[in-house]
Amino acid sequence: MELLVIESLNSEACDQYCQLNQNTYNSGLTQSKNSYTMIALLDIFSLNYLMISLQIVMCDMVIPKESLIETQCEIIVKEKEGELQMCQEQNEKNEEMLKQLQQTLVQQFSQSLTFSTIYKNSNCSVTQNGKLIETSQSGWQCCMCDQMIPKNGLIQFAIKIIELSSIMIGIGFRDIVQSRNYGVCHNIGYGTYNIQFQGQCYNHDQQDKHQKQIAFPFSTNDIIIVEVDIQKKYVKWTKQSTNQSFTLNIDTSKDLYPCVHFCGKCKVEILNQVFK
């Protein structure tokens, strides 16, 4: 397109030059005047050619500039996509590491958990390095565990029923239980959250659920998994053999500890492993 324009302008300038040369000859103008006119036409021709050439150069410069911008944008987009993919992969790794860490903490809590030889009813006997507790006495007796439930994260512990007369399994405030001499500690205001072997709920501060048949029953050889999350303020009991479960909201204003309540001949064991 640009070459056609140049050729057109060149042809037009040449025609003008030839016509002027003929007219000058016919009219008898002086050679000096004719020379000036020819120079002027040649200057016009050169100027036109220069302008068209400049336009072509400018067009050639604009196209690569637009192409360069587009290429740079594509490079930036690809870089950002790569960074996003790396972040997603790192997040997945972090989530997996967090899950493994949480499982490790759960396992460590279960393995370290022991029945206390101090914070318990005197009629209860603790053996096997704190993993087993039993009693043969009538009347309610409460025994706390040594380890406090952590403030952060989820924990689990598992209790296996070996002998049963009447048993409750739960968590509680050690100071309140201690103030009650580790006797009857499962009523409203008595500082514990429990499920009883016949499926009743006994708790510290929820009258509408207290002594109600809203949990699940359990018996000899059953394994009860207790899950606690202080931040989310709940305790959950699950029977391992049937996966039946019951969840209760809890007061977390003070430290909580795992605990059991016995009446009559009973024996239970803390298991080292946890169950999914």
| pLDDT tens profile 156-205 | 999 999 999 999 999 999 999 999 999 999 999 999 999 999 999 999 99
Same domain flag for 134 and 79: no
> Do 176 and 230 belong to one domain?
yes
- Residues 91 and 131 occupy one common structural domain: no
Whole-number Å distance between alpha carbons of 228 and 130? 21
CA atoms within 13 A on the CB side of 15: 6
Task: Give the DSSP H/E element, type plus range, for residue 59.
Answer: helix 31-112
Domain final position from 75, 109, 143 = 109
CA gap 135, 143 in Å, rounded = 11
Kindly state the tokens that stand for 228. Answer: 């606690």
Residue numbers of the domain that contains 16: 2-109
Let me know whether 88 and 105 are in one domain: yes
In a domain, 82, yes or no: yes
Domain boundary among 66, 93, 109: 109
pLDDT at 128 over 80: yes
User: What confidence score (pLDDT) does residue 13 get?
Assistant: 45
Q: What are phi and psi of 180, to 5 degrees?
A: -100, 15
Indicate the pLDDT class of residue 102, thresholds 50, 70 and 90: low
**122 and 253 belong to one structural domain:** yes
- Confidence check: pLDDT of 4 > 60: no
Average pLDDT over residues 16-23: 47
* Residue 142 within any structural domain of the chain: yes
Q: Report yes or no on 158 lying in a domain.
A: yes
pLDDT bin (cut points 50, 70, 90) of residue 107 is confident
Total domains in the chain come to: 2
User: Does some domain include residue 276?
Assistant: no
Q: 270 - beta bridge partners?
A: 159
81 and 124 part of one domain: no
Kindly report, residue by residue over 148-167, the tens digit of the pLDDT: 999 988 999 999 999 999 99
Listed residue (176, 173, 221, 169) closest to 196, CA to CA: 169
SS3 147: coil
Is residue 241 one of the residues assigned to a domain?
yes
- Are residues 99 and 173 located together in one domain of the fold? no
Q: What pLDDT is stored for residue 92 in this prediction?
A: 82
User: Is residue 31 predicted with pLDDT exceeding 50?
Assistant: no
Closest CA to 193 of 217, 172, 174, 168: 172
Q: Is the pLDDT of residue 108 over 90?
A: no
Q: Is residue 206 part of a domain?
A: yes
- Grade residue 253 by pLDDT with cuts at 50, 70 and 90: very high
Is the domain of 45 the same as that of 171? no
Q: Is the pLDDT of residue 67 over 50?
A: yes
Q: With 50 as the cut, is the pLDDT of residue 126 above it? A: yes
From residue 155, alpha-carbon distances to 92, 111, 261 in Å are 23, 12, 21
For the residues 33-50, what does the mean pLDDT come to? Answer: 50
Specify whether 204 is located in the same domain as 258. yes
Boundary-marking domain end, from 89, 109, 129: 109
Whether residue 273 contacts residue 158, with contact meaning beta carbons closer than 8 Å, is answered with: yes
What confidence tens digit (pLDDT) does each residue in 207-251 have? 999 999 999 999 999 999 999 999 999 999 999 999 999 999 999
Query: Which CATH number belongs to the domain containing residue 194 in this structure?
Result: 2.60.120.920
Whether residues 93 and 152 fall in one domain: no
For residue 204, CA distances in Å to 158, 195, 218 come to 22, 12, 22
Max distance between CA atoms of the chain, in angstroms, equals 148
Q: Are residues 119 and 202 both part of a single domain?
A: yes
41 occurs within a structural domain: yes
Residue 86 domain-assigned?
Answer: yes
Q: Are residues 69 and 162 in the same domain?
A: no
pLDDT grade for 70, boundaries at 50, 70 and 90? confident
